[in-house]
Structure 1
Amino acid sequence: MVALAGALTLTVAGATVAHAAGPEPVPRAATAAAAHWTGTWEAAASGTAAALPGTSIRNVVHTSVGGTEVRVRISNRLGTRPLALGGATLARQVPNASTSPNALPGTMRTLTFGGRKKVTVPAGKDVVTDPVTLHVPAAANLLVTLYTPVESGPATYHRSALQTNFLARKGNRTADVTGASYTATTSSWYYVTGVDVRGPHAAGSVVALGDSLTDGSASTPSANRRWPDRLAERLRALPPNGRRGVLNAGVAGNRLLLQGRGPSALARFDADVLSRTGVRTLIVMEGINDIKNAPNQTDPAALGTAYREIVRRAHARGIRVVGVTLTPFGGHGAYTEERERVRRAVNQLIRYGGLFDAVADFDAVVRDPSRPHRMLAAYDPGDHLHFNDAGMRAMADSIDLAGLLGIPKDLAG
């Protein structure tokens, strides 16, 4: 494995801010007792929305692994003007209440930027907060609250959060433990695109790069039942040297080659994969929107070339790459026999083309054996493209963990 880049520093508004510019390597001599930084949550920037001046935005995010220190990535990557933040906090959400704005008493922490409580993030840039000490369990919800005092132009956000988030329109309410001021809700994450934890409980992270099927469309909202969530659950059951954080870089409507909803997978690869902390493995599930959406991709070789480029760039950072076959969409309004032919040809490339270090054959898991151009009815939420909770679980459970992680079978359970 090649050496990976460590952290850079970024000077923003006079403050030196930690900026995660590449995956952080696990030391060769690392043991289960060694503490290191690992990505525990991600949301890829998918576009922009109208800014929310004078508003405190309480984002609810779900950890995949835990730790005792935390840092948060805040993004103005798609913005066109400097983003002024008048305050930021981190807390644990009250347990067993995924749709509550209330913080667990005693867990509220002020987030700072080079020691300062306020920061201005330049257009096109990310910042990472100073670390704070907080016991963060795996599979817990955190509240990342940001106050945007003035109009800062288009807001970088992740549109399809599948999570209830909260808005307080009465000024800086970032330090509020109770959620009484949070009288409005949003189904998007604003500005927050990553959370890292420091601890001994995971040996790096896995990034899932994909479209709406990875983003979780059609799974139960505020329940964390996307397939990467289920994968994280499986990985948590492994011994510490096999555990990984799982970072969901899915964007609904995303395409591999062209801009769809948000930048293409190739265009956002550095920001959403290579800049993340402790990345050891990448899972690639991209291409169905290139085939079914106009302008339609009709040449399987073009997708193959893009996959090779992703693998080349990942391997240059020592990252293992798992390719995922494209799942069926027969019955969907965009289905045609010609597009089905392209999908099957691409899947042959993924399975047998030697492009990837390992393959997860989601197509084989979810298709109806009697009608292989369609998914099994038990997994279909009704649109014949996305997957319900059962389908999400079936896909995640089909992933060979030894192949995913490149570790011996006996360590993968």
Structure 2
Amino acid sequence: MNRQRGFVLLAGLMTVVALVVATIFAAVGALGGDGGSDQGRRDQAAASGSGAGARTPVGSAAPASADAWIGTWAAAPAGVEPGVPNGHAGRSIRNVVHTSIGGTAARITLSNLFSREALLIGHASIAVSHSNDGDDHGRHESPSAAPGTMRLITFGKKTSVVIPPGGRVVSDLVRLRVPYDTDLLVTVHTPAPGGPVTYHPRALRPSYTAVGDRTRDLGGAAYTESAPVWRYLTAVDVLNRRARGSVVVIGDSITDGIGSSYGAGHRWTDVLADRVSGSGLGVLNAGISGNRVLRPSLAAGKGPSALARFGRDVLGQAGTEVVFVELGINDIIRRPNETDPDRITAGLKSLTRQAHAWGLRVVGSTLTPFGGNPRHTDRLEAVRDRVNDAIRSGEVFDRTVDFDRLLRDPYAPDRLRPDYDSGDGLHPSDNGYAAMGRFVGIEDLVGKEPALL
């Protein structure tokens, strides 16, 4: 081989190496994988459930101030949707969600948390729902979009994205004026089988599906099937530089709204969101029916334990300002029953410590009465009383909201007041949830003093 030919081959080899390296860096950038940066490490910690920090988009469209992203809606991934082991291949899924605070742009988070297979999102879109006609929380449900609001969503400036097994993805910024207290339509098309569907089973309102890629349909005629669940979608954030941040509520079925009227938006967090919107706060509902502090219930769609999911579902939300904890009753009443109150309070204190590590104040509630429920026993009632004594002592949370005293029957303190009981002796009625939403002191959420514990 002569020297000139050798130089030519060497130059060619170096070019190939440069192209490979450039491709690797481009792929990492497209996945938001700046793991060496502080923000990259915060995102990885939040995704693993071990830390916090505002989520950043996959693409490079983040605003100069990441703190301007505020969560307006969220739903905690609770398990795998039954009956669809390979997903909804060839269909469009139109999730209907309700905002708590508005903004000048939006972004979404999609989750493939509970699948062992990659999920292909062919297209995605977001629009304001046509049903926003002034009625309370979209009582006239509709899969149709308001004229002029349909926007295509991109991921790393691409219209499609692959979400890895167990992963999640945050979209690029979408220019859309999002009103507060309104319905949004977030639609994804899944063109190929993608394994089990990560979902939230207790939407208490319908979302819709259609055959084919109908992500950009303004009308809802193609969306002929509905189900009261949210699929893949776990968060919607808005760009709002005047907002304070978000209150993230981690809870069980009482936060998830079981017992409230279907489609009416009568969760206690909905009532709270209406009250605090003027204070510049979004309210994010991270409740999962059946959820416990100490034990997971994934097979039943009741989610990982609160200890395991706290980093992802609470600290990982955009603009988290304060944490609200409503948990513990399922540890007592669900089998295997936890009869050691100290273990429950230790778990709740652990949640507080995780939040304090990120400078967040924690507001927590007492455990509500369940004396009218078939699972009630005197022994379990004694456990609840002990946990509540610890919470009221001020040793568990920075601030305490005494939902137990608010809801209980003054003539039978282990039971819900009759007008606050949905009928099962455990879950509040619409009246009960309204009372809870009004009972939370706004000063507990917006005060400037640091965490106390």
Shared fold per TM-score greater than 0.5: yes
Alignment correspondent of 1:53: 89
Q: Is the counterpart of residue 141 in structure 1 residue 183 in structure 2?
A: yes
Is the Cα contact below 8 Å between 2:202 and 2:256 reproduced in 1?
yes
Deviation at 1:404, TM superposition (A): 2.5
Is the Cα contact below 8 Å between 1:230 and 1:396 reproduced in 2?
yes
- 2-side partners of 1:353 and 1:177: how far apart? 52
Alignment correspondent of 2:294: 257
- 1-side partners of 2:113 and 2:247: how far apart? 22
Alignment correspondent of 2:99: 63
C-alpha spacing 1:13/1:222, structure 2 compared with 1 (3 Å): farther
1:198 alignment partner AA:
L
Alignment correspondent of 2:53: 23
Q: Secondary structure at the match of 2:307?
A: coil
Tell me the TM-score normalized by structure 2.
Answer: 0.82
Deviation at 1:199, TM superposition (A): 1.5
Q: Secondary structure at the match of 1:207?
A: strand
- 2-side partners of 1:255 and 1:17: how far apart? 32
Alignment correspondent of 1:5: none
- 1-side partners of 2:422 and 2:26: how far apart? 47
Q: Is the counterpart of residue 228 in structure 1 residue 269 in structure 2?
A: yes
Alignment correspondent of 1:90: 126
Matches within 5 A, 1:116-155: 116-155=158-197
Is the Cα contact below 8 Å between 1:53 and 1:150 reproduced in 2?
yes
- 1-side partners of 2:146 and 2:32: how far apart? 28
- 2-side partners of 1:404 and 1:149: how far apart? 43
Is the Cα contact below 8 Å between 2:202 and 2:289 reproduced in 1?
yes
Alignment correspondent of 1:194: 235
Tell me the TM-score normalized by structure 1.
Answer: 0.90
Is the Cα contact below 8 Å between 2:67 and 2:319 reproduced in 1?
no
Matches within 5 A, 1:373-412: 373-407=414-448
Alignment correspondent of 1:213: 254
In structure 2, runs of 5+ residues without a counterpart are: 1-24, 34-39, 47-51, 56-65
Q: Deviations over 1:161-195 (max 9, x none)?
A: 111111102x1000000000000001100000001
Q: Deviations over 1:180-216 (max 9, x none)?
A: 0000001100000001000234211110000000011
Is the Cα contact below 8 Å between 1:90 and 1:142 reproduced in 2?
yes
Give 1:267's match in structure 2, choosing from 308, 319, 338.
308
Is the Cα contact below 8 Å between 2:261 and 2:430 reproduced in 1?
yes
Alignment correspondent of 2:19: none
Give 1:244's match in structure 2, choosing from 264, 281, 295.
281
1:23 alignment partner AA:
G
- 1-side partners of 2:28 and 2:214: how far apart? 23
Is the Cα contact below 8 Å between 2:394 and 2:400 reproduced in 1?
no
C-alpha spacing 1:320/1:341, structure 2 compared with 1 (3 Å): same
Larger helix percent: 2
- 1-side partners of 2:373 and 2:318: how far apart? 37
2:275 alignment partner AA:
R
- 1-side partners of 2:394 and 2:283: how far apart? 26
Matches within 5 A, 1:276-355: 276-355=317-396
Larger strand percent: 1
- 2-side partners of 1:201 and 1:345: how far apart? 42
Is the Cα contact below 8 Å between 1:328 and 1:373 reproduced in 2?
yes
- 2-side partners of 1:205 and 1:308: how far apart? 21
- 2-side partners of 1:130 and 1:17: how far apart? 11
Deviation at 1:274, TM superposition (A): 1.2
Root-mean-square deviation over aligned CA pairs: 1.9
